[in-house]
Amino acid sequence: MKMAIIGSGPLAILSASHFDQLGAEVVLFQRTPLGGNLRFLMEHFPEFKIDFNNAQMSVNDFFIEHIVPAVIELEKYELTKQGDVLRVHKRFLHKDETIEGKSRLYDLFRVIYSLNPKDTILKQMEETPDLFKDLGADVINSLHKPVESFADFDIVIEATGFGKEVMPAGAGNSFALNEFNLQDSSVLYYQNDIFTKLDLTGKKSIILVGEGAQLKLALLKFKDWLLEAPGRELHWVTYDKSDKPCGISWLDQKTSEFLSEIEVRFEQSKLEFEKKIHEWRDLEDYVKVKVPKPLEPTPLLVQHIGFDVTSVDRLLDRDGVFATIESPDFRAHSNKPQEMMTLAGDALCIARGVKDVSLGQGFHAVEPGYYILNSKDLDTAVTDIKKIEENVLNYFKKA
């Protein structure tokens, strides 16, 4: 039984290791270095805790104890293939087509993937330039472009998480007005780009849109920036409730602690302001005119609960970005129902997760032999892998 597993993260690695040990002929397609988001967490949140086997462990410990041994075993037997899987379909079988006396599993799955020419042809050019010296410039230039290839399999497991397409800022998983045209600009940042590409130097105001685990990671990302210098502000826009758990206990706890710290600091600043304003009012008039009136504090974090971003704009004569947000009248949890306002910021960060987009094309709703593994936690993933095993074995039992 030849099995393709698509993904670079822990779900893909655990799946490949499991079915390899069962004796399947496994090929793991990896677009990025094995480890996926675990590597991201180790770099940006080394203290992140993972729930696994009814216990909590650091992301670093989990990687070393469970992922590294599996990767070593997979690479030892050359079961991994570097390449970006573009799509998966049946070799010839259409969605509305049947094979007389056979199930849809009779026709194999075709995995189409893109190869990086730097890993193949260009490397050969460097090692044996004489073989390529007579080729024309057009041919040489074409060799720099990615090349599509394919391989056929009995079973496919798509373990890429939730796909590659990031969720935009607008309502209903859609783009806000003008967002599509600005998505590649220097003021909009999505998902991991918030951590890897956003430069906070000189920035005073950030607009953050989102929900769930990715949003909470972004909130923690901005913690030091928000607290280390006065005059900074963070606007958090969400259609959902602000205290909704994301399902990761460590992250929920850390976010709650951060929001509590922000609230305590703001309350302290208000008390200090009241003290200063009373002292200023008690000054003699001739002294008061020379002493600036204390400025009323503004919250470091402003939560716009129950709001959606409806428009994103930039001005020709001013840096930054402007987000128009609106709150409908039907959200009971909204802190300002039926309100519309425009927020100004140096950057707009969207942390809403990614779309659940499958690589499979032309499949039935339940396609025999094709599985999507997108478990939200590792313990559930282990259970789901075993369920896939049971289902696969049913296909290959003798009648």
**Residue 62 sits in a domain of what CATH number?**
3.50.50.60
Q: Is the pLDDT of residue 388 over 70?
A: yes
According to the model, what pLDDT value does residue 126 have? 59
According to the model, what pLDDT value does residue 133 have? 57
The answer to whether 192 and 383 have CB atoms below 8 angstroms apart is no
Q: Is the pLDDT of residue 162 over 70?
A: no
Amino acid occupying residue 191: Q
Q: What is the pLDDT of residues 258-269, one digit of tens each?
A: 999 999 999 999
Q: Are residues 381 and 324 in the same domain?
A: no
pLDDT level of residue 386 (50, 70, 90 thresholds): very high
Collapsing DSSP to helix, strand or coil, 165 comes out as: coil
Q: Are residues 7 and 150 in the same domain?
A: yes
Residue % of the chain over a pLDDT of 70: 90
Residues with Cβ within 8 Å of 302's Cβ and at least 6 positions away in sequence, in order, are: 233, 234, 235, 236
Q: Are residues 182 and 313 in the same domain?
A: yes
Q: What is the span of the domain harbouring residue 279?
A: 171-351
Q: Are residues 156 and 176 in the same domain?
A: no
Q: Is the pLDDT of residue 230 over 90?
A: no
According to the model, what pLDDT value does residue 263 have? 93
According to the model, what pLDDT value does residue 173 have? 85
Q: Are residues 232 and 373 in the same domain?
A: no
Q: What is the Rg, in whole angstroms, of the alpha carbon atoms belonging to the chain?
A: 27
Q: Are residues 109 and 214 in the same domain?
A: no
Q: d(Cα 271, Cα 397) in Å, to the nearest integer?
A: 73
Domain boundary among 315, 330, 351: 351
Q: Are residues 191 and 256 in the same domain?
A: yes
0.85 exceeded by pTM: no
Q: Are residues 12 and 50 in the same domain?
A: yes
More confident residue, 315 or 249: 249
Q: d(Cα 4, Cα 30) in Å, to the nearest integer?
A: 11
Domain boundary among 336, 351, 366: 351
Q: Tell me the mean pLDDT in the region 125-131.
A: 59
Q: What is the pLDDT of residues 253-294, one digit of tens each?
A: 999 999 999 999 999 999 999 999 999 999 988 888 889 998
Q: Are residues 253 and 386 in the same domain?
A: no
According to the model, what pLDDT value does residue 146 have? 75
Q: Are residues 195 and 315 in the same domain?
A: yes
Q: Report the candidate in 293, 297, 212 with the shortest Cα–Cα distance to residue 255.
A: 212
Q: Are residues 142 and 227 in the same domain?
A: no
Q: Tell me the mean pLDDT in the region 211-237.
A: 93
Q: Tell me the mean pLDDT in the region 156-164.
A: 78
Q: Tell me the mean pLDDT in the region 216-245.
A: 93
Q: Are residues 60 and 36 in the same domain?
A: yes
Total tally of structural domains belonging to the chain: 2
